[in-house]
């Protein structure tokens, strides 16, 4: 995946035709790589906090095939990104909170994923802004997607890392009440973002502001977004 993404990046930098395909491959490949980094960060922090089960389950790897649910964590986010342009966060690493040395360590484990997206966004924005090329557009758009994914993933909704950050401080009674709803609430959020006009605009507004903060280029990101959907 890394080699294929790098090859597409070289082609995009050289302006090889069809350039939209190369931008698409750079963004898609980069997105898969950062999904792996996101999940790996959860596992590493969980291990450091005392949950050795992540090692036994094989999470300490960047290989997406070792995740609990490759379909939900990688395949579906890729399809939704390609079709709708919404960077839906995946969910793969199963953590056992009872193994953590402190109950609030669970907040750190959950925060590790969005923090990884933010760091990746800043790095990509810095790398992409000086490149007045198709590669710069691809990297800038990928940086924007990292920021949007971080904002979306910080929603305090079950199934998102934002809820995981707060969950250690909720009462067992409250957590038991919402347990039946947990599998469905992320789908509700996505359905709203997908179907309600303007519902997703606020997360992209926040993403663009973070891109500005990182010193990225809005114009390059917008060019990259257009080239990414080369078929439309």
Q: Which residues are marked as active site?
A: 39
Cβ–Cβ contacts within 10 Å for residue 10, how many?
Answer: 12
Angle at which helices 201-213 and 218-228 pack, to 10 degrees?
Answer: 130
The separation between CA 191 and the C-alpha centre of its own chain, rounded to angstroms, equals: 18
157's CB contacts (< 8 A; 6+ apart) are: 163, 185, 186, 189
Residues 89 and 80: their CA atoms lie apart, in Å, by: 10
How many degrees, rounded to 5, is the angle at CA 170 between CA 164 and CA 172? 110
């Amino acid at each position: 995946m890394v080699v294929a993404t790098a090859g597409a990046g070289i082609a995009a930098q050289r302006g090889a035709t069809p350039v939209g395909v190369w931008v698409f491959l750079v963004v898609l490949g980069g997105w898969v790589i950062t999904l792996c980094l996101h999940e790996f960060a959860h596992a590493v922090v969980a291990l450091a906090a005392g949950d050795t089960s992540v090692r036994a389950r094989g999470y300490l790897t960047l290989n997406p095939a070792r995740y609990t649910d490759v379909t939900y964590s990688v395949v579906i986010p890729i399809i939704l990104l390609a079709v709708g342009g919404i960077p839906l966060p995946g969910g793969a690493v199963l953590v056992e909170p009872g193994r953590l040395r402190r109950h609030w360590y669970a907040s750190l484990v959950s925060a590790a994923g969005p923090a990884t997206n933010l760091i990746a966004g800043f790095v990509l924005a810095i790398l992409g802004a000086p490149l007045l090329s198709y590669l710069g557009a691809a990297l800038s758009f990928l940086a924007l997607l990292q920021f949007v994914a971080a904002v979306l993933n910080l929603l305090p909704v079950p199934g998102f890392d934002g809820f995981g950050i707060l969950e250690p401080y909720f009462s067992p009674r409250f957590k038991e009440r919402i347990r039946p709803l947990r599998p469905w609430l992320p789908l509700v959020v996505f359905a709203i973002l997908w179907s309600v006009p303007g519902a997703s605009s606020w997360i992209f507004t926040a993403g663009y502001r973070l891109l500005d903060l990182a010193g990225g280029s809005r114009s390059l990101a917008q060019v990259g977004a257009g080239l990414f959907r080369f078929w439309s």
